[in-house]
Amino acid sequence: MATFLYKLGRLAFRRRHFVALIWVALLTLAGVGAASAPPAGTTSFSIPGTEAQKAFDLLEQRFPGQSADGATARVVFKAPSGEKMTDAGNKATVEKTVDELADGSEVASVADPYTGKAVSKDGTIAYASVRYDVSGMELEESTKHALEDAAEQARDAGLTVEVGGDALQAVPETGATEIIGIAVAAVVLVITFGSLVAAGLPLLTALIGVGIGVSSITALASALELGSTTSILAMMIGLAVGIDYALFIVSRYRAELAEGREREDAAGRAVGTAGSAVVFAGLTVVIALVGLAVVNIPMLTKMGIAAAGTVAIAVLIALTMIPALLGYAGRRVRPAGAKGGLLGRRRRDGKDGAGKAAAEKAGAEKETGPVKANLGTRWASFVVRRPLAVLLLGVIGLGAAAIPASDLELGLPDDGSQPTSTTQRRAYDLLSEGFGPGFNGPLMVVVDAKGSDAPKDAFTQVSDEIKGLDGVVAVTPPAPNKGGDTATISVIPDSKPSSVQTEDLVHAIRDAGGDIKADTGAETLVTGSTAMNIDVSEKLNDALLPYLVLVVGLAFLLLIVVFRSILVPLKAALGFLLSVMAALGAVVAVFQWGWLSGLMGVEETGPVMSMMPIFMVGVVFGLAMDYEVFLVTRMREAYVHGEKPGQAVVTGFKHGARVVTAAAVIMMAVFAGFIGSSEAMVKMIGFGLAIAVFFDAFVVRMAIVPAVLALLGKKAWWLPKWLDRALPNVDVEGEGLRTADERGSGPDEDRELVRT
């Protein structure tokens, strides 16, 4: 691995014009594809194998032409203080609005509040239901404007009017904080490298990688039914890993220059060593993201694969474009520790004198004694001296942060989680005020009586059975289809859609359906957005353990190959579990309990998004392994080269702590930038990933990992001999490159190496 990547790095350095041209061409091609692609159409949200999905499919089959997946809108009217919606003037305004809405070309139907019994008991609130022929994402802008104009005209007549439903759903915005995150990353890079050029390389390559990835997603969005959230998450993860991967290679390149190597050789060795870590770190992220397919929710699978593709592009760019750009930068990227001046100006017949000067400086330091240890070295030395205390403090701290996770409640966001500034949220609140909290989450019961001898009796029995259940406010009469073998019944709970009481009611209806089927032969199914959300949450919960086993198991095997150890990968996996549980605890504290909710822009607390735990497990595991591979690889490199276990830990921190710290701060800044998104899902994921990186990088990898390695000593690197012989030697630490150097390989040997 190291030898192949060494050759790749040197080749990219020499053929930099060709490499740069390829990546610019790919970016241009992706951009043209995105610009010329049709707009994204409907995003199907299906959950195969669930009762809600089965009922939804049955509705499309038995009730054709009713646009079961069409957009909906509820235009909610509230009378002025002291008046009622049944007053003549207010009634005339509503009927005029209904007539205007019915004229729309994409409108399938409009229900008049007065004929559809959609006026509250106190007469102050009414609503008109609008159903469209196409989904919310496919609605023409003129249709949306017509809906907004009709509502505005009713407001001008003196009524309070708000619009709920998905007809006015907008593409989520990330806000200015995303730009702030990138700016913070730029500042950290400048501080780390002390050079604008060196700092600019990771940013430039990350933006190119994300540009290619997001443009490709946009180009394929219509064909593959990719939602807007898919590209945002791909951008979030692609930016973070793209900057980090490039950061590690540029940092290693500067370290190789400081060892006295020529620039081309330094680029090759940086890619051969740090690049090997990038490959395996990227593999763990890709495994974690692609592994989301085991949940069998198409939307989540597409999100994972799209983000994994962006990560793969980031790895390829780091391995090829970074050495190419280093070739363009020349002496403007200085050796580690160099401050410019003489080091930056010397030349030597095509060779840079910076390396020689740095080597002479290193030799002088060796004779006069060690230079002052950096912060990473001092911290690692402290941990090695007090490993047990550091380990206990880290574990107890993360355990305390994880406590709120025991109160985790899962659900999917609805209009009730929207900011109070939106018309959807205000419509939600008006409906709750006028008709009760359960009105915003009606349950649709589908009765399939095709196998029943008396379908009408079956419909009546189901309706009567539901009326007798606790937590039911209203049940509409059965509405059969033309064939008379299927009917729908709307059930209004007395609790809000995301409550535990509503979930219990769904299960109670389904349990009652089992007895009804035994009596009548009719099958009772519960669907609707509320039931769909409940089924999604349960499906994700059931898939979490198999997903953990798959992802952690595959990555565990991969890390055994990388580190040639059993205990180091085991420790990495256990440390990850600590950090992800602590991160989930923080998410519960902010988004469910409301701690610091104002600071985070959370206007409405409630259940944590149901896909958050499994998505966080996937992404955080991949990112956690990044730091594990980058940091511990340097420790293993020192150990393989003859250092004692404790000293190897210190050496690993000496070379890697500053860069890992910078990488973690950058990744946190990028993720935190998405907290400003208008989409509740993106906001929650941005916060969760940012806090997870903090816990994993600074508590697990910087404290718990060195403490455990210090306690284990040589046992940390133990591997059964039979397994050692069976495993392939990927040489992540670059031992093969060191051996070639010790043989004194010159240009002839290098050419032979390239040929082989």
Q: What is the pLDDT of residue 17?
A: 92
What is the average pLDDT across 407-429?
A: 80
The number of CA neighbours under 13 Å toward the Cβ of 662 is 25
Question: Over 624-683, what HEC string results?
Answer: HHHHHHHHHHHHHHHHHCCCCHHHHHHHHHHHHHHHHHHHHHHHHHHHHHHHHCCCHHHH
CA distances from 486 to 70, 334, 415, 526 (A): 20, 75, 30, 13
Share of the chain above pLDDT 70, in %: 87
Q: What is the CA angle 208-339-258, rounded to 5?
A: 75
At residue 160, the 3 state secondary structure works out as strand
Amino acid at 606: G
pLDDT in tens, 597-636: 777 777 677 788 877 888 788 777 777 777 787 788 778 8
Cα separation, 202 vs 208, whole angstroms: 10
Task: Assess whether pLDDT exceeds 80 at residue 283.
Answer: yes
Which tokens in the block code for residue 728? 């392939």
List, for residues 314-373, the tens digit of each pLDDT value: 999 999 999 999 988 888 887 776 654 333 333 333 444 444 444 444 443 443 344 466
Three-state SS sequence of 86-155: CCHHHHHHHHHHHHHHHCCCCEEEEECCCCCCCECCCCCEEEEEEEECCCCCCCCHHHHHHHHHHHHHHH
pTM above 0.95, yes or no: no
> What token pair was written down for 545?
């353990």
Among 82-91, 214-223, 691-700, the minimum mean pLDDT is found in: 214-223
- Tell how strand 410-411 and strand 608-609 pair up: parallel
**Averaged pLDDT for residues 732-742:** 58
Residue reference for tokens 């609605």? 139
Lowest mean pLDDT among 151-165, 347-361, 695-709: 347-361
pLDDT in tens, 203-244: 888 889 888 988 888 888 777 767 667 787 788 788 888 888
* Selection from 663, 569, 648 nearest residue 243 by Cα: 663
pLDDT band at 301 (very low <50, low <70, confident <90, very high): confident
* pLDDT given for residue 258 in this prediction: 86
Which tens digit of pLDDT belongs to each residue from 566-584? 898 888 888 888 988 999 9
**Least confident interval from 11-20, 611-620, 717-726, 747-756:** 747-756
> Do 498 and 416 meet the contact criterion of CB atoms below 8 Å apart?
yes
- Measured CA to CA, the distance from residue 191 to residue 188 in angstroms comes to 5
Structure confidence by residue, pLDDT tens digits, 101-131? 888 778 888 888 888 778 898 999 999 988 8
Looking at residue 455, its pLDDT comes to: 85
Interatomic CA distance for residues 337 and 374, integer angstroms: 12
The more confidently predicted of residues 598 and 517 is 517
Using pLDDT thresholds of 50, 70 and 90, give the confidence band for residue 173: low
Residue 131 pairs in a beta bridge with 72, 109
Q: What is the pLDDT of residue 299?
A: 79
